[in-house]
């Protein structure tokens, strides 16, 4: 199938081929392309993502919101302030600011509030 909607492609595809300007950018299984996109273009086509900057996190890396976990353990290497919470039905999408970078995180934790200081890990 040909589609620009991740919900249409991911459950059905044995193989995904991402094209840009007529050239293949990345190809592989749906799981591989979703979890290990080669660049921001590929990541953005398949859903929400975070681009970790090298200055804050020591490396430039793409992570999906569900790959970042929250803890109340403030001894984690990275801590930040919850700046936004949106109820999405089966999960909450929260934003955490860490050293001026905003990360989107999916969580089922309904005990988090705006202004809370949290640790994150991935």
DSSP letters spanning 66-92:
GG-EEES-TTSSEEEEEEEEEE-SSSE
Q: Where in the chain is the domain with CATH 2.40.50.140?
A: 63-122
CATH for the stretch 63-122: 2.40.50.140
Distance CA 78, CA 24 (A): 36
What is the model's pLDDT at position 2?
A: 73
- What predicted TM-score, i.e. pTM, was given to this entire model? 0.87
Contact residues for 97 (Cβ-Cβ < 8 A; gap 6+): 80, 81, 83, 103
Q: What is the DSSP letter of 100?
A: T
Distance CA 99, CA 90 (A): 29
What is the model's pLDDT at position 47?
A: 93
What is the model's pLDDT at position 1?
A: 67
Sign of the CA dihedral with 38 first, then 41, 46, and 52 last? positive
Residues with pLDDT less than 70, the chain: 1
């Amino acid at each position: 199938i040909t589609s620009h909607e991740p919900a249409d492609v991911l459950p059905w595809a044995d193989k995904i081929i991402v094209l840009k300007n007529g050239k293949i950018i990345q190809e592989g299984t749906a799981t591989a392309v979703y979890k290990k996109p080669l660049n921001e273009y590929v990541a953005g086509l398949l859903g929400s993502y975070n681009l970790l900057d090298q200055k804050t996190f020591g490396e430039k890396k793409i992570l999906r919101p569900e790959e970042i976990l929250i803890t109340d353990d403030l001894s984690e290497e990275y801590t930040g302030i919850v700046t936004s919470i949106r109820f999405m039905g089966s999960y909450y999408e929260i934003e955490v600011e860490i050293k001026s970078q905003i990360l989107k995180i999916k969580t089922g934790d309904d005990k988090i509030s705006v202004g809370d200081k949290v640790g994150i890990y991935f």
